[in-house]
Structure 1
Amino acid sequence: MKKLLFPLLCSLMILTSACAPLSTDGATNIWTETNAVKVLRSVTSGKNKKVTVSAAKGEYEGAQILINSSEKIENIEIALNDLTCGTHKIAKTNVAVYRQHYFDLQTAYDSSQKKDRYPDALVPFDASAKAGENRADANETFAIWLTFKIPETAESGAYTAEFQLILDGKRHSVPVELTVYDFALPKENHVRTAFALWIDDLCDIWGNANPDVHKVANNAEVKTLLQNYTNMLAEYRISTTALPLLWNELEDPKAVAKAAKEATLNPKIASYSVPVKEIEAEDGISEYKFKETLLELIRQSTNDIDLLKKAYLYIPKIDEPLSQNTIPLAIRVNKIVEKVRAELLADASLWTGKQQVKESLSAMQHVLTADYDPRLEGAAQTWCPYFSSFDTEEQRNVYYERRNAYGEGIWWYGCVGPKYPYPTFHMNNNIASARTIGWMQKVYDIEGQLYWTVNLSKQMREDDQYHIRDIWNDAYSFYDIAGDGYLVYAGAKYGIDNALPSIRLEAVRDGFEDYEYLWLLEETLSSLNEKYKTAYSLAEYVQHLSDKLFDGTKPTVIDENVTLAKNELSDLILAAKYGILILNENNSLCIYAPENIVSLKINGNSASRDQANKNRFHADAVENNTLEFINSEEKTFIIRYSL
């Protein structure tokens, strides 16, 4: 009998493969963790003895190796090997290795946060070793982060390898097991983001005293850094708010159009904000400059290369108008935006052969960071409130109803607030806090996400002024909030002209990859609903998994259940690929399957087809279920489904 192995069977295959146990001795403890756990410095041991990773083609996935010794270790090295599955290979060059940099967090804004040393910055291991940081004091946990990049061309299956830790010359073998799913993530990002990149925090433009940012000699070097950071963030499925242009270039329509074309042609860039010249006059923005920029974008567009397809507006001058008491200004600015839009749409000379471009201008969102409030009528086309503003069905319905009635868009954001128990990017929250945002965003049908800046290198203090901050030793960027306003670290200390990632940035990407998993499932679900005359929405179909991760917009999971939910989601994608729907109906399973499925066993028990519907099976279920399908070609499909 042929077997088409879903992830569960791949895992069983791995578990029975021959590989040496992780080498330890009396003085040294070595263990592993998934990418779903932050290992605090006070943790000195763990139970996992091998690296286990599961991912789709085209996906990034992380894992950790931890070392703790009762003796000082002067030299820590790691040697990678290629991963193999039969004759197939994933080269070791697809694995990035980082040292986890820890921060002492002794201030917490609520009792949920433990005072400890937290890992966050990820420093390339070779660069860290060159700086003499590949050592550990006695009884001090040393943490390694691995990021696996699965090639789009990889064959699906169970891969294994042996990595080697060399501690003061002594070798320790680390078994590695990688399952590659039989589907690929899309290259294109389907969630819009406006994650700001601050030029003045990117580099030391004025030659001041901050030793932790990049030193630049001219605008060309600044531009290179901007492009490097933008490209790096795109690999994390993040589109920066502004195009990678210098301040003077943002006022040059031709420079804007050139950069917009590059963004339009890059599938990794989902969105960009059309630059708007802010002025001190009563209107707040320059109508002339805004119109001039849009005109150039229209002129340089075709239906095939539509420079407005990914465009939106976010104007910092009217940020948070409710709390900043700028409601009248926000309304005036939006009137200018809509006036310019209407004038351009009415100019028939612009649109010959450009109907798609015209539709993009008509749909271009003006994002305002505010809850809907009657006082803001006429101030926005797209609302962007806090994550917490979508916590209840009643709250969400406010925005859904306005979208249905008026065509208004829905984005959301987090910054200093909201705080725990809502999701945050704060350093002393668990990884699930940042990761579940992507899953929530797809399930709640929220179109975009904004973050005020990814690279804040300064510190806001009690005098309400920014001060220079030691980014490698002081995590508190905004009063008592650790990690707010930055997800990356300047690589200047290590001679790297780019951003260095953080564990939180890895979690953000994992969340956006979860979004793409859900997007893939939704695409297939539509055709299966038509095939089986069902009408399940994506949110309904994955509710049994969402319920394990969050309640409203409050993450309820703090451990590896995030990974388990993602793995089960991959099963649903693979099942849908072969025409199978699996549903929880009052704690029993209802399964729709094509006629070529000749056998179905649930937890080892045979299930029968519904006499009234030859495509449907019904069966009792338990909390965690294993379903085994056999088709007419004698291929076996094994998947997991939890209630």
Structure 2
Amino acid sequence: MKSQHKPTPVLIGRRKFIKSSSILGYGLVVFGVGNCSCKKTHPDEAAPNRITKYTISALDSSIKVLPSDIVKESRRIELAAAANETESFQIVLRSEADLGQVDVRISELTNGVHTIRDLVWYQVGYVYVSTFDGHPATEDIKGLLPGWYPDPLLENERPTLVKGWSNTLWVNCPIPTGTPPGLYAGKVSLTIGGQLETIDMQLTVFDFTLPRKSTLPTLFSLSLEYLNKVYPTFTPAIREKWFDFLMAQRISPTDMYIDLEGADAKLKIEPNEYHRYLDRMNGFVVYPITATWSDRDASADELIARFEKNRPYIDALVSSGCVSQGNGVFYGFDENDASHFETMKKVHRHIKSIYPQIPIATTSMHITSVEQLQELQIDILVLHITDDIYNSAFADQVRAVGKKVWGYISLQPYHPMPNWRIENPYLDARVLLSAMAYHERFDGFLYWGVNQYNKIDWKYPATIDKNTPAKLEVSITTPTDEYKWLHGDGLLLYPGSSGPLSSIRMEQIRKGLEEYEYYQLLEERFGKEEAANWAGKVAPSMKVFSDDAHLYLTHKLEMAARIMGR
């Protein structure tokens, strides 16, 4: 029997808002391949006679910095990650005066003859939030005011700084597969008004590699209809960039709600497009049984007739190997209730008679027994994690009969549970898709939209050009009076003029999926019980988990040391 390494218990600081960490200058974590320790670092002391009119601070990517936050100066960032992982950090520039032109250069990271290239920086853009009035959970918005909030990552040649703000740059450092372990070093050079400033970077690469394909299956819906409406010409090159970007985030491109009966059928993802990603895909919708909310109320005969009409497309996906290798599913009857059950039985029975090997997935808050699930011939039950709808006891009953149980979020849940609305701490997304997903034994995760672009009076935004100002005229607010407090729901990516622009929230989602692999590696080496113990250190339940950045990074270090046998 393998030994059970018991992680040291830690204190969980749920909703201890991490703005305090940024003000104190936390977030710089010291890593070593042989010495996994974590400590606070102190701001660099300025030279005695040096007069500066700005501050520069390097911070971990899990710390949210609002424009009004005062961050202590620090010129050093120390990071750690595995091969085939992307690590990120932030640079905060603040000045009460106009700094003029600012230039940014990032060196390679080197360790003797070994080099890590392709580090890239982005200007953090800001979206305006006009109100939180009506928010169902006051704890989620405690201390927050209307104003500008950081989210989009802009592709600018030079930073565009707002005087009197803490302006943030975002730096991504991808560590390629095959990178030798060890300590790598480099510099960020900032030329501010002709004066050269530098930030020291150190990155420890662990002696293990994350898998190319995400272990946790996902369905994150990309609306091809909205892309076609936003882009004046939705070219194959732009389309490919969107697909490539999602795969780089460990998410398979899929449109869960595409209407294959209407004009948008021409936008569907073809087998040859999926084939480019088969070695990395883990989840996509083969065919949407219901494409719209109202389709749930269509007759079984109508839905079966539509399905039969699209059999050639489904057969092409099956024969190409996309379905079996890419973990394809049928999906439909979104958030169904008992009034849909008879129709579901008839439609699912027909589908299973033809494609018994392809799982049928649905989201539901009203399927409450294994018997119902079997009658409906559902293979993957996707449960909302809010209000105890997802609970481990029921999930285990479902799994005991050979079915799978996924989790999902939408505008809900609220405090004390995690989400990635604009007001949530950054760590919510990372914990949800790593420690929490593992501890609660999610078999997969679903999210309804990454680009729901009808947020300005139900109109579509213009694309965002390079070198745009930091304050964006893009709304992420649901345009109804009932949901005027809801910011960022269904919108994680922004439409750049030549392709997708990421967001800080999407970067946190990718980190969560990457860090989920740490628990999988612990399971492979030491068993499920020990891996679950590690996950329980930061997420013992869906209502109790840590938002403390320092604690979380220390935990990651300790996991890496255990994986490496140290």
TM-score by shorter chain over 0.5: yes
Q: Which has the higher contact order (CA 8 A, sep 6+)?
A: 2
The CA deviation at 1:25 is 4.3
Match of 1:566 among 552, 556, 563: 556
5 Å-filtered alignment, 1:27-46, equals 27-46=53-72
Q: For 1:13 and 1:567, how far apart are their aligned partners in 2? A: 7
2:61 is matched by which residue type in structure 1?
N
1:552 pairs with one of 542, 545, 555: 542
Counterpart code for 1:274: V
Deviates more, 1:190-199 or 1:156-165: 190-199
Which of 160, 175, 200 in structure 2 is aligned with 1:175? 200
Q: Which amino acid aligns with 1:388?
A: T
Q: Provide the TM-score with structure 1 as the length reference.
A: 0.70
Give the conservation status (yes or no) of the 8 Å contact 1:197–1:455.
yes
User: What's the secondary structure of 2:350's corresponding residue?
Assistant: helix
- Measured in 2, the distance between the counterparts of 1:300 and 1:111 equals 46
Q: Which amino acid aligns with 1:242?
A: D
How many Å separate the matches in 2 of 1:371 and 1:247?
A: 28
Structure 2 residue corresponding to 1:95, chosen from 108, 119, 128:
119
Q: 1:391 to 1:290 in 2, by over 3 A?
A: closer
Q: TM-score, normalised by structure 2?
A: 0.79
Q: Distance in 1 between matches of 2:270 and 2:161?
A: 49
Which runs of structure 2 are paired with 1:80-479 in the superposition (5 Å)?
Answer: 80-91=106-117, 94-105=118-129, 107-108=131-132, 109=135, 110-113=138-141, 114-115=144-145, 117-126=148-157, 129=158, 134-137=160-163, 139-204=164-229, 213-216=230-233, 221=234, 223-242=236-255, 247=260, 258-259=271-272, 262=275, 266-276=278-288, 278=290, 281-283=298-300, 286-291=303-308, 293=310, 297=314, 301=318, 305=321, 307-309=323-325, 310-315=327-332, 318-322=333-337, 327-344=338-355, 360-361=357-358, 364-370=359-365, 372-373=367-368, 377=373, 378-379=375-376, 380-388=378-386, 395-404=391-400, 406-439=401-434, 440-459=436-455, 466-468=458-460, 472-477=473-478, 478-479=483-484
Aligned length: 501
Contact 1:192–1:239 (CA under 8 A) maintained in structure 2: no
User: Cα deviations across residues 153-182 of structure 1 (Å, max 9, x unaligned)?
Assistant: 211100111221111221101111111111
Structure 2 residue ranges without an equivalent (≥5):
1-29, 463-471
Q: Which is further off, 23-32 or 167-176?
A: 23-32
Counterparts of residues 571-590 of structure 1 (less than 5 Å): 571-575=561-565
After TM superposition, give the deviation of residue 199 of structure 1 in Å. Answer: 2.6
Any idea what SS the aligned residue of 1:79 has? strand
Does the C-alpha gap of structure 1 residues 546 and 105 become closer, same or farther in structure 2, counting only changes over 3 Å? farther
Shift of 1:42: 1.0
Cα distance in 2 for partners of 1:319, 1:331 equals 15
SS class of match (1:32): strand
Q: 2:90 aligns with which of 54, 64, 70?
A: 64
C-alpha separation between the residues in 2 aligned to 1:121 and 1:545?
A: 30
CA distance in 2, matches of 1:76, 1:335: 64
How well do the aligned residues superpose, as a CA RMSD in angstroms? 3.4
| Amino acid in structure 1 at the alignment position of 2:365 | A
Does the 8 A contact of 1:21 with 1:174 survive in 2? no
Is the 8 Å Cα contact of residues 22 and 175 (structure 1) preserved in structure 2? no
1:469–1:306 distance in 2 versus 1, CA, 3 Å: closer
Of 279-288 and 223-232, more deviation after overlay is shown by 279-288
Q: What are the superposed Cα offsets for residues 62-100 of structure 1, whole Å, 9 maximum, x if unpaired?
A: 101111123211212111112111222112xx2111001
Q: Which amino acid aligns with 2:90?
A: Q
What's the offset of the Cα at 1:367? 2.3
Structure 1 gap segments, 5+ residues each: 1-5, 205-212, 346-359, 526-535, 576-638
Q: Could you give the per-residue CA deviations for residues 280-311 of structure 1, whole angstroms, max 9, x where no partner exists?
A: 74117532453565576557757x94633411
The 8 Å contact of residues 411 and 449 in structure 1, kept in 2 or not, is answered as yes
- The farther-off stretch of 286-295 and 187-196 is 286-295
1:421 Cα deviation from its structure 2 partner: 1.8
C-alpha distance 504-257 of structure 1, shift in aligned 2 (>3 A): closer
Residue 26 of structure 1 deviates from its aligned partner by 3.3
